[in-house]
Amino acid sequence: MIVMNARRSMVINDVRRPGRSMVGMAVLAAVLMFAVSCNPRLSNGLRKKDRDKDVAIMTTRGTIVIRLSDSTPLHRDNFLLLVRKGYYDSLLFHRVIRNFMIQSGDPASRSGQPGKPLSQGGKDGPGYTIPAEFRETLYHHRGALGAAREGDDVNPTRASSGSQFYIVQGKRFTDAGLDSVVTYRLKGRKIPADQREVYKTMGGAPHLDQHYTVFGEVIRGMDVVDSIAAVPTTGPPLDRPTVEVRVLKMKLIRRIK
């Protein structure tokens, strides 16, 4: 009863002094509106400032920092949302091919289960796919971030997995090697001159261009990618590491200059 009376007294006092209460509420509302306007929530659940963040992939081998491309907004926003939700935390790099790429993002890999076949083409995931976002300026140079997917036979639109991704380690190519890729893998599609030069000097995986969506790149930590790519594996067809390499955690970080 004493508590009820005290509460009633407080209410009465607020009613008797409306100016003070209304001013306080107005100030609070203004602060909240300012905070929201500075960092509004977008329709997909992200904050506007999230799109200006880099992503740190903390692994058992070290940290890789990636920057997502604004030219592939569907892939960018999906990846950011999954990172915010902690979707990738504790997942394995379940497919590794030296001089090609390292792959993660299969939710079935969280429990480990040595010897269990895991998805090669990005079949396992959150239950949806992302429409392809091929861009001529985004290609599979060393350090490129790409989206895994199922094969053309069951996925003719080349839609990406909802969560599985790979990072290109790649290898260097000669002009003759690139010509062969153009003829037999790209079916005659030419590789632009500036990209050919990158494939010859830095390396990459040109046979994937315009077949798989590239949506970002490594800006720090390629030595970690090389370390993961060097672990022993079962070899084809699964290429599963025999030594576990995990994503400990992913998080959004302030963009590195």
Lowest mean pLDDT among 14-28, 119-133, 140-154, 238-252: 14-28
- 229: nearest Cα among 65, 86, 104, 54: 104
Is the CB of residue 229 less than 8 Å from the CB of residue 96? yes
pLDDT number for residue 253: 98
CB atoms within 10 A of CB 56: 18
Q: Which fold has domain 48-254?
A: Cyclophilin (2.40.100)
Where along the chain do its domains lie? 2-38, 48-254
The mean-pLDDT minimum among 34-43, 94-103, 119-128 falls in 34-43
Q: Model's pTM, two decimal places?
A: 0.83
Label the pairing between strands 129-130 and 160-161: antiparallel
